[in-house]
């Protein structure tokens, strides 16, 4: 479910149009989506929802059209040569204050229209880099070509590893 799906369902269940949410929920993500109803929608802007945490699985050696598991595979390489040191260096490069270019299929608005809508309409989408903070990026376990990781980051960070995966 997307954030909009949740809001639509709440509007129907609660029989009100005044429902809002405090952040976009990625369709592949699981977790909590904070919502406000009626007068509670005014409180959403006062919540300190500036950090979030993800557990994720990175599959080395593959890149996709969406930089996640749902996209079509663009390229695959044998990840057997990717050393633990290379993984650690990649993680270090993506930790701290970094400039991130969100995926072209993200919900970022470009001239008032969602990037993913522009891509679906056949447009080439270029999203400028923006500052984000990755306060912790921890390798929990390595299972062959898969890395189980924990990422703690600022709001506005897109947790996608397509570029990291193909460069590793």
Active site residues per annotation? 26
DSSP character at residue 67: S
User: For residue 163, which of 81, 64, 77 has the smallest C-alpha distance?
Assistant: 64
Contact 130, 109 (CB under 8 A): no
**Cα(42)–Cα(40) distance, rounded to whole angstroms?**
5
Cα torsion at 63, 67, 70, 75 (round to 10°)?
-10
User: For residue 116, which of 148, 71, 159 has the smallest C-alpha distance?
Assistant: 71
């Amino acid at each position: 479910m997307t954030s909009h799906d949740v809001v639509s369902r709440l509007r129907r269940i609660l029989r009100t149009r005044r429902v809002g949410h405090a952040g976009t929920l990625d369709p592949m993500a699981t977790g909590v989506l904070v919502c406000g109803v009626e007068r509670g929608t005014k409180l959403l802007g006062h919540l300190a929802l500036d950090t979030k945490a993800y557990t994720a699985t990175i599959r080395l050696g593959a890149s996709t059209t969406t930089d996640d598991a749902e996209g079509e595979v663009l390229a695959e390489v044998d990840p057997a040569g990717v050393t633990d040191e290379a993984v650690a260096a990649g993680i270090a490069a993506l930790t701290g204050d970094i400039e991130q270019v969100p995926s072209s299929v993200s919900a970022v608005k470009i001239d008032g229209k969602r990037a993913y809508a522009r891509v679906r309409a056949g447009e080439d989408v270029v999203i400028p880099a923006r500052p984000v903070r990755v306060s912790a990026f921890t390798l929990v376990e390595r299972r062959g070509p898969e890395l189980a990781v924990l990422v703690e980051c600022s709001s506005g960070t897109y947790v996608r590893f397509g570029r990291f995966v193909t460069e590793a």
